[in-house]
Structures are given as structure tokens and as C-alpha cells.
Structure 1
Amino acid sequence: MARIPCKDTPSSILAYKDEVIRRLQYESQFIGWILIAVVASAVFLLKCLQHCCSPLSFHQEEYWGQYRSCEKELFNRTAEVHAKVLAASNVKHFFGFVALNKEEKEMVTEYPVEEVQSSPQWNEITGVYLYRENKGFPLYSRLHKWAKKVIGNGTDAESKEMALLAV
């Protein structure tokens, strides 16, 4: 029926038109539900395999998650303060003064910022991170790795991180 143009459809076939449309709808819904079931099963299996193939124990993985969450929260709060103080410094340099409220004035005096981090430092702590250890000690994030002065050693794992960014 799909090969016959609508205006040239024989009347004997028109009687089956509703049945064909209904069957196509059933088939498309069936295929859709099968696709949803396959994707859900694949996600479930991947989550199970992720825990089975992880080099971390259950408790260490829980700690890693806690660490990353705390690091992200502290980094974001500190970055916000740093950006605000640096912006206030730049505005003051441009205008000769800056209009700050009491809380911001205290923040500017408490946390003096003179320089921003260079691009190589940002590049070292930014990006996808795959868990690894260095001399038996865990490195929980790229920032942790940078703080321990392990970054930039040209390991294969680091090139994997960068390859993931390139994809």
C-alpha cells in the first residue's frame, strides 16, 4: 500500500487502509518498547560491571565520591570568592574605587588576590580523571594529583585522560 500513490489507490485496497495504519502503529510501538528495554538493560549491566571492574573497594569508592563532592563544593566556593576579589581589584584599578557592601569589603581585605592561575595550572587540574594511585597512595582527582606534585609525569593514564577529552 505504501508503494501506491494516494490518488491512484484502488478502492479494493482502501478497505484495508485503517488496518494497515493500525498495524504500523503497533509495530512501531513494539520496536520502541524493545529499544527502551535494551537501553535500560545495557545501562543496568554497565553499572553492575562498573562496580565489578573497579580497582576500589566499596568503602574506598564511597570515600572517593565524598572527597570529589567536597572538593567540588570547596573549589566552587573558593573560585567564587577569588573571582569576586580579583574583579573588585580590577574595577578599583580601572575606576580608582569600587562600590562594595560591608561583607564584600571584609572579603577583599581578608583574601588579597594579586594574580590569577596560569593556563598550565588550569590545564593540569581540568579534565576527565581516571582513578589511579602513586606509590601506593590514592590520587582522588586532578587537583589532588596536582597538589601532590605528581602531574605532568607523562604516564599512559594521563594520555588516556587527554584522549577522552579529544573524542
Structure 2
Amino acid sequence: MDKLRGVLDFCIHHQTVLSYSFVSLLTAASEHIFSSVVFKCPCNSGNMLYGSIFLIVPAFILFLLGYVVNPKTWYLLTGVCSLDKRAICARYRRTLVLVTASASVAPVTWVAVALLGASFYECAASGNSLIKNIMCKDKGQQCQDLVAKIPCNPKFSEEVSKEALSLQAQSQLIGWLLIVVIMAIALISTCVKRCCSPVSYLQHKFQATYLKKEEEVFERKVQEHATRLAERNVDDFFGDTDPASFTTPSNTDWQNISLLYTFNPQKQYYSMLHAYVNEKRGSSNRVMQGDQNLLVSELVDETSARESGF
């Protein structure tokens, strides 16, 4: 039991990295199945189109699915058309960047693994006129015809050019370059964001813990409140009695706590709900006018990553 509890604790504390790792592994496995079972390069003039579709279209589909399955996407979109305040647009854009980065995990994995596998790129590149001209410089049309057949018979690659890099080598180099660039961008952006944070590391950690607990308590209270309201309405329907009074937050209240909150060092509210409770009802929009260096949504993402050891 102790070992099982230890495994569960490890999974809980590292759920963000484990989820991204699972998505990456699943994407890599899917790419391997596609390249070995489904993908068959035609080895003719249609190589460029066929290979490009298998390389790009699945990545684009995974990118869209990343938006669809991310709850923050719907958090941003729900009711946004009814908001007349342009001042919060910057906050929505910054959160959209976070959602986009999360949605990019699967498609980037697909492209990187596909490039390392080289099948899709080799097929697409062998049909590209520019690459044909480079590989068959001063060798005539027969050489270009051989380039289109390289995906079906790798021996043609040596006949075309022994000095130039093979299409597979080109693909793998591009794949590793893509991985290095993505890792560098992720590291630099994380460092810059941490350097610009308006709070210290310990306060940052406290905020994250508060937000996590607030979400847990809020979800529990929502269930309890909705259950009591449902029971009251159903009892009244079957009992034919006047319904008892029941207090429910107004639409304005819900909208106020649903806005994206930016941490304000002067007031030190840790969420929109925290600010709303401490300010008078109906005037909580005032707390939106604060420091824009740290969004609460950014804090949640950083916390999950930090708990995972990153």
C-alpha cells in the first residue's frame, strides 16, 4: 500500500509533465503507425503534395484539437462577445498565448518525429523542383526523374549525388534543429517571464497554493449549492407548495468573478473571487486596473510545471 500511495503521490505532483509526456508518446506512436502502415509515397510528380499533406495536415488537426480539449479555450470564449471593456483585451491575448503553447505540444511532436523518421520529408522533397535542381545540377532530366523515385528505392540517392546530403539526412537535421529551437524558445521565455514577475518565489508559491485550494473549495460549493437548488425546485414541483427563498449569485456576480484577473501588488488579491469578496459587490471591476505583469492563469501553469520539477 505504501508503494502504491507513493506512486499515486508521484503522479499527482507530476501530472502536468506526465500528461504532456503521454501526449507526446501517443503522438509519436501515431506518427509511426501512419508512416509504416498508411503512408505510401507515389514516387512520381505527386510526391511534393502527398508528402506535405502527411507532414502538415495531421499536425494542424492536432493543433486544433489542442484548442478544443483545453478548458481555458472555452473560459476565454464564453461570454467574451458581450464584454465591452477593451482594457482586458491584453489579458485575453496573453492567456491565448498560453493556450496556444499548450495546444502546440502534439503538433510539434508530430512534425519533429516525422522529420526524424524522414519518410514524409523524403517523399515531399523528392518532388520539389528546387531540391531536384540542387541535387541534379548539370545532370539533365534523367537525374531529376531518379530523384522522384528515391523514396521507393534508396539506392537511387547514391546514383544521383554522392557528395550532397541524402534526403533522409536533411530531414533528420531539420528535425533536430526544430527540437533545439523549440527547447531554446521555451527556456528563454520561461526565464524572461520569471525575471519580470512582480512577486518573490515564496509569494509565488503561496499564490499557487491558494488558487489550487480555492478551485477545489469552489467546485465543492458549486456542487452543494446546485444540489440544494435542484432539491428545492423538485420538492416544490411534486409537493405543490410555495418555494422557499434561495439566494443565488446574479449574472453580474458570475461575470465579475469570471474575468481574467491580473495580480496587483498594491492590494494583493490572489484571484478575481478574492478581489470580489473584499471589494463591494457591483464594484469589483475596479480591481482589474492593476499591474499587468502576472496573470493568474500564468501562475497556475507555472505552478503545475514547478510541482513537476521544472
Q: TM-score, normalised by structure 2?
A: 0.39
2:276 corresponds in structure 1 to: 146
Distance 1:113 1:56 in 2: 44
Letter in 1 for 2:230: A
The 10-residue stretch of structure 1 (25-34 or 136-145) with the greater mean CA deviation from structure 2:
25-34
Deviation at 1:87, TM superposition (A): 1.4
The counterpart of 2:231, out of the listed 84, 88, 105, is 88
Secondary structure of residue in 1 paired with 2:286: coil
The counterpart of 2:168, out of the listed 25, 30, 41, is 25
**Where do residues 53-64 of structure 1 align in structure 2 (5 Å cutoff)?**
53-64=196-207
1:78 corresponds in structure 2 to: 221
Structure 2 contact 262–288 (Cα < 8 Å) conserved? no
Which structure carries more helix by proportion? 2
Deviation at 1:155, TM superposition (A): 5.2
Structure 2 contact 263–292 (Cα < 8 Å) conserved? no
Distance 2:177 2:188 in 1: 16
Q: Gaps spanning 5+ residues in structure 1: where?
A: 98-111, 162-167
2:259 corresponds in structure 1 to: 127
**Identical-residue share of aligned pairs (%):** 29
Secondary structure of residue in 1 paired with 2:268: strand
Identify the structure with bigger relative contact order (alpha carbons < 8 Å, sequence gap 6+). 2
Deviation at 1:154, TM superposition (A): 7.4
Deviation at 1:128, TM superposition (A): 2.2
Distance 2:231 2:176 in 1: 56
Q: CA, structure 1 residues 26+91, in 2 after alignment: closer, same or farther (shift >3 Å)?
A: farther
Listed one character per residue, the Cα deviations across residues 63-105 of structure 1 (whole Å, up to 9, x for unaligned) are 11111111111111111111111111122222339xxxxxxxx
Larger radius of gyration: 1
Distance 1:12 1:79 in 2: 67
Q: CA, structure 1 residues 89+158, in 2 after alignment: closer, same or farther (shift >3 Å)?
A: farther
Structure 1 contact 85–113 (Cα < 8 Å) conserved? no
Structure 1 contact 82–113 (Cα < 8 Å) conserved? no
The counterpart of 1:69, out of the listed 204, 212, 216, is 212
Count of residue pairs brought into register by the alignment: 140
1:117 corresponds in structure 2 to: 249
Distance 1:79 1:41 in 2: 42
Q: Gaps spanning 5+ residues in structure 2: where?
A: 1-125, 133-140, 296-310
Distance 1:96 1:26 in 2: 77
Structure 2 residue 219 is the aligned partner of structure 1 residue 50 = no
